[in-house]
Amino acid sequence: MNIKKIIELDISDQLKDFKSDFVHTKNEIYLNGNSLGKLPKKSIIKIKDSAENEWGKRLVRSWNEKWLDLSVRLEKKLGLLLGIKNTEIKIGDSTSIRLYQITHALLSSNLFRKNLLTDSLNFPSDNYILEGLASQFNISKTVIVQYSQNIFSDIVLLKKTIKTNPGIICLSLVSYKSSWMYPMKELNDFAKNNNSIIVWDLSHAVGVVDINLKKTNTLIAIGCTYKFLNGGPGSPGFLYIHSSLQPKLNNPIQGWFGHKVPFLFSDLYHPANNIKKFDIGTPGILSMVGMEIGLDLALKATTKLIRKKSVSQSELLLSLIRKKILSLDFKIESPLKSSERGSHITISHPESLKICKALQNGSNKFPKIITDFRPPRYIRLGISPLYTSYKDLFITVMSLHEIVKTKSYKKIKNNSHGVT
């Protein structure tokens, strides 16, 4: 495919106007939205107003005037994105805290056997939480289903393990390495039929995959908002609990915002009788303010159209990779079927880290291209349809071709520190 046809795809793109809603750096392509989404322009205005006026001028009065109702407003918006009621979702704190809360609550409820299960595609941070809880509850170590590769789940093996170890399962809907996407409803139904429950981590899916938690019979889910929802660094995580389960589960962290009447300052803890009981402490207002515009943009675009463009762009990217760089020792590490894939394409090369750095340096011929590296050999190319253009993907593959063909990556030191 030549550049003329690529430009035609951008011209006919239904979502092309959304790119102007974000802050962009000149001479740079950003394919890292699956780690941190770009900054919406209106978020700057909203955060500035909150800091200067709500905090700076109105001070404590802003709690009653603005802040106490903020989470409810955001929960309604995120609920619309996920096909659920706002009374089933709670925004605030981090994804790890939300996973700890809900897994602890499930273990304490005795609704399911005290078996913890995950697989080798799950995000390591989630597994750390499970490991810690297993120790706390003095139960058997977390069962981790090991696959022979890092690209896709072996569903037959996963189901077999659930059947022999029924209990509480934690899975990432979209794998952070390969972008493998699980058959959500199929696994939820299988878990229910085997006296088990799945806690889904939606972090690499929400905002870019068209998710309906009701239609997929999902009972529990967690996730973050700083990736494809463009909420900003450290923007709040969220917790979804199906209404039928809420009366049966208790928050293990009895913070004052989870109290039935927090400002009564009662000596005794009386939890709220709804999803609010999973609140903990004072919410991070500025980070919550920052995430609202990202939610608004996703709702305006609709996840159906976002997903449609994501599939179209990932198919183009795969085609360009096959034609231009597979012969240069690159390997595709993502599922080839779009129905089994989220919104990033992972490739590998023996010199992936150096190549990743060379992309970020740019050249006289190509702009800086921000991707990310995941050990031991993966380069993730994250597609954020609200601001990623087809031309961005074309240029990226051309740059990869140039870097490897000329061996310019050999000038890069092979060391890695901090965020990659």
Whether the upstream peptide bond of residue 375 has omega within 30° of 0, thus cis, is no
In terms of domains, do 58 and 180 share one? yes
Mean pLDDT for the chain overall? 96
Residue 331 backbone phi and psi in degrees, to 5: -135, 140
Inform me whether the pLDDT recorded for 77 exceeds 70. Answer: yes
Give the CATH number of the domain where residue 87 resides: 3.40.640.10
Q: Are residues 97 and 177 in the same domain?
A: yes
In a domain, 418, yes or no: no
Alpha-carbon span 161 to 140, nearest angstrom:
15
> What tens digit of pLDDT does each residue of 149-158 get?
999 999 999 9
Domains in the chain: how many in total? 2
**Cα distance between residue 142 and residue 168, in whole Å:** 10
pLDDT digits 0-9 by tens, 293-346: 999 999 999 999 999 999 999 999 999 999 999 999 999 999 999 999 999 999
Band the pLDDT of 413: cuts 50, 70, 90: confident
Residue 167 lies in a domain: yes
The structure's pTM equals: 0.96
- Whether the pLDDT of residue 2 is over 90: the answer is no
pLDDT-based confidence at residue 420 (cuts at 50, 70, 90) = low
| Final residue before a domain boundary, out of 269, 300, 331 | 300
| Same domain for 145 and 266 | yes
Domain boundary among 279, 300, 321: 300
Q: What is the pLDDT averaged over residues 251-280?
A: 96
pLDDT band at residue 417 under the 50/70/90 scheme: low
Residue 284: band (very low, low, confident or very high) from pLDDT cuts 50, 70, 90: very high
Q: Are 136 and 163 in a shared domain?
A: yes
At residue 258 the predicted structure's pLDDT band, cuts being 50, 70 and 90, is very high
Residue 243 maps to a domain: yes
Q: At which of 300, 331, 358 does a domain end?
A: 300
Asked whether the predicted pLDDT for residue 416 surpasses 70, the reply is no
Same domain, 86 and 210: yes
pLDDT above 80 (res 387)? yes
- Mean pLDDT on 155-171: 98
What domain range includes position 15? 3-30+302-411
For 175-232, what is each residue's pLDDT tens digit? 999 999 999 999 999 999 999 999 999 999 999 999 999 999 999 999 999 999 999 9
Q: Work out the pLDDT band at 419, boundaries 50, 70, 90.
A: low
